[in-house]
Structure 1
């Protein structure tokens, strides 16, 4: 009788409380590099001339800078000058490219 009760209790717990899995889309980080064309401080954006592997050509791409983006070799992303070479990591969410890390390989404003 006890064995029957245990089996029924296990069956009820399996069917009554199915395991719940929370599928979280992991944020995929992409990498790219290129030459800065423009810095749009008012809209937190940077325009970069970069190589596009799909079209086998250089293109201009606009990225939003995340408020908490890490910046290397500059005190702030706002100080990056046009014609500076940068590499960066970014996420794409709702067709919006957002930079989360950027490194500058040329002089930035005020550091010549």
Structure 2
């Protein structure tokens, strides 16, 4: 089900929630702020964060997860293209996997 872009007040709630969990040193919060500033019209229901103890070579240690909505292939595709990549289609799963300012971004 496609989701609407977050309203300005919801955007502030999403950032406040992320601030409680993300360290300023990881780049996750800065990446979230940048994505919301640069792409306010794209669908987004929330954020998640992830860290890897042993990342694969060339992969970031910290990631920001975009919660777009179940079965929202158009939303995943829109985010992927806005970030200069294409979504990965794997059976029933659509995902975005890229890096922004050293922070992994996936949906």
Higher strand proportion (structure 1 or 2): 1
Higher helix proportion (structure 1 or 2): 2
TM-score after normalising by structure 1: 0.25
TM-score after normalising by structure 2: 0.25
